Amino acid sequence: MNIVCLDLEGVLIPEMWIEVAERTGIDELRVTTRDISDYDKLMRYRIDILARNAITISDILEVTRTVEPLPGAADFLIELRRGFQVAILSDTFVQFVDTIMATLHHPFLLCNRLVVDGSGTIVDYELRQRDGKRTAVEAFQSLNLRVQAVGDSFNDISMLRAADAGYLFRPSQTVVDAHPDLRQASDHDELLRLIRAGALSSVVPDSV
């Protein structure tokens, strides 16, 4: 049995922090896991910027509630789910994606949570599990599932390496240069073809 594990931001929806950066005019928030591979360092950087600019969770939700899926992403996900079980494994935060998940027909999602104080200030974050994407893939494999995985950034690499087949979707050149052996897709149609081909290659023919 096959399951496909997808990153969320950069694969199905825009990068939420870039959306916040564009709406608030704070260019420092454009930095993502494509730029900084250390996720904790990146999040401490973001939380510090939000505090210095007095940006609260309410300000961020005003942005994230208006975000729509990437062009073609919703149709891709519908078509993918016709033939595969699908799990979304993301380093985003449940507060960010509550609205947009409805537009994707509520696929199974594992992500993290922001810690917010009484004034609405984001003071910390809680990981569901350290290196949670990789461990989720390994857990599915322990259930005798064949796992294909898709991501776009440095924080997806351990998931892609753990999977039976892993693909980069529209990665930055920095990510490509660091991992040139990983197969890539430039659009959702190509990605769907890769996944379907990956499923077929796992089928072992009966002995004659």
Report, as an integer, the average pLDDT of 91-110: 93
Tally the domains of the chain.
1
Question: In this structure, is residue 65 part of a structural domain?
Answer: no
CB hemisphere CA count around 75 (13 angstroms): 5
pLDDT, position 204: 45
Each residue's pLDDT tens digit, 108-164: 999 999 999 999 999 999 999 999 999 999 999 999 999 999 999 999 999 999 999
> At a CB cut-off of 8 Å and minimum separation 6, what does 115 contact?
122, 123, 124, 125, 126
Catalytic choice (7, 19, 152, 156) = 7
Each residue's pLDDT tens digit, 160-207: 999 999 999 999 999 999 999 999 999 999 999 999 999 987 654 443
Question: In this structure, is residue 94 part of a structural domain?
Answer: no
Q: pTM of the prediction?
A: 0.91
Report, as an integer, the average pLDDT of 96-101: 92
Any catalytic annotation for residue 7? yes
Question: In this structure, is residue 45 part of a structural domain?
Answer: no
- Residue 145 sits in a domain whose CATH number is 3.40.50.1000
